[in-house]
């Protein structure tokens, strides 16, 4: 069978038979890949721990008809070990993994930007220098943008009129002016809209200066925006404090 190498983040695993696992990966060059890892559930396995969720790995795989096979695995960054002792960071990280899997829908289609965003987001989450909710919100907004669902927080999402605007609606793609407002639109504080724009842009000085109530309101709007575009909720989100 032809072999290939790639860099990947392990998104999810589930058992196969008595000793194997099916590993769902987001790879740098090949997008989302599902592969069999033979014997990794045995205590004698050389690299079972390298194929757990959150692990950033360098892999060699063999092409298969429906599933590839992992033949080598070397750990690059053990993100799980760095976040495992912090419940908030770990649960926020699980949302990142599930989001990446949901947004990269086609197997074997390159998704380099999504891969780099995920690695960068996990690195920031594991570093512990920024709030876990804010790292998560920034990752969600950026990954949605890469997937083609970029929100607008400056001009009106409907007519393009420059803001600031006081209305927000996920189904319309962001903020709306008074003329374009549709029923059911939220009316966030002006500071909240500024924080949303900062999260998308990576302006951590603005995010760090915001009050907690502003950050909480921004998180709620990010969650609503994500839920609308994914069409069904994330199972992991219910464990995250928002």
- Cis preceding linkage at 164, omega within 30: yes
Whether the predicted pLDDT of 50 surpasses 90: no
* Residue pLDDT, tens place only, 120-134: 999 999 999 999 999
**Interval 9-39: pLDDT, tens:** 999 999 998 888 999 999 999 999 999 998 8
Express each pLDDT in 70-115 by its tens digit. Answer: 999 999 999 988 887 899 999 999 999 999 999 998 998 999 999 9
Is residue 46 scored above 80 in pLDDT? no
Identify the weakest region by mean pLDDT among 41-45, 125-129, 171-175, 223-227. Answer: 41-45
Query: Helix or strand or coil: residue 15?
Result: strand
Residues 2, 71: contact at Cβ < 8 Å? no
- Closest to 240 (Cα-Cα) out of 219, 218, 226: 219
Q: What is the pLDDT of residue 65?
A: 83
For residue 240, the model assigns a pLDDT of: 85
Q: Which residue has the tokens 């669902």?
A: 149
- Report the chain's terminal Cα–Cα distance, integer Å: 47
């Amino acid at each position: 069978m032809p072999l290939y190498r790639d860099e990947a983040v392990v998104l999810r695993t589930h058992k196969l038979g008595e000793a194997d696992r099916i590993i769902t990966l987001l790879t740098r060059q090949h997008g989302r890949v599902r592969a069999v890892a033979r014997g990794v559930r045995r205590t004698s396995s050389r690299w079972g721990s390298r194929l757990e969720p959150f692990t950033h790995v360098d892999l060699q795989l063999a092409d298969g008809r429906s599933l590839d096979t992992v033949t080598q695995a070397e750990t690059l960054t053990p993100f799980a070990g760095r976040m495992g002792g912090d419940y908030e960071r770990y649960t926020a990280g699980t949302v990142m993994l599930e989001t990446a899997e949901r947004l990269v829908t086609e197997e074997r289609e390159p998704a380099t930007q999504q891969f780099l965003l995920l690695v960068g987001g996990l690195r920031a989450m594991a570093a512990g220098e920024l709030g876990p909710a804010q790292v998560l919100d920034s990752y969600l907004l950026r990954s949605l943008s890469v997937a083609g669902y970029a929100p607008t927080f400056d001009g009106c999402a409907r007519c393009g009129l420059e803001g600031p605007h006081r209305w927000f609606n996920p189904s319309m793609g962001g903020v709306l002016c008074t003329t374009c407002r549709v029923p059911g639109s939220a009316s966030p504080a002006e500071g909240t809209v500024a924080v949303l724009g900062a999260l998308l842009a990576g302006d951590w000085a603005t995010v760090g200066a915001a009050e907690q109530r502003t950050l909480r309101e921004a998180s709620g709007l990010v969650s609503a925006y994500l839920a609308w575009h994914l069409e069904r909720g994330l199972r992991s989100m219910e464990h995250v404090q928002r």
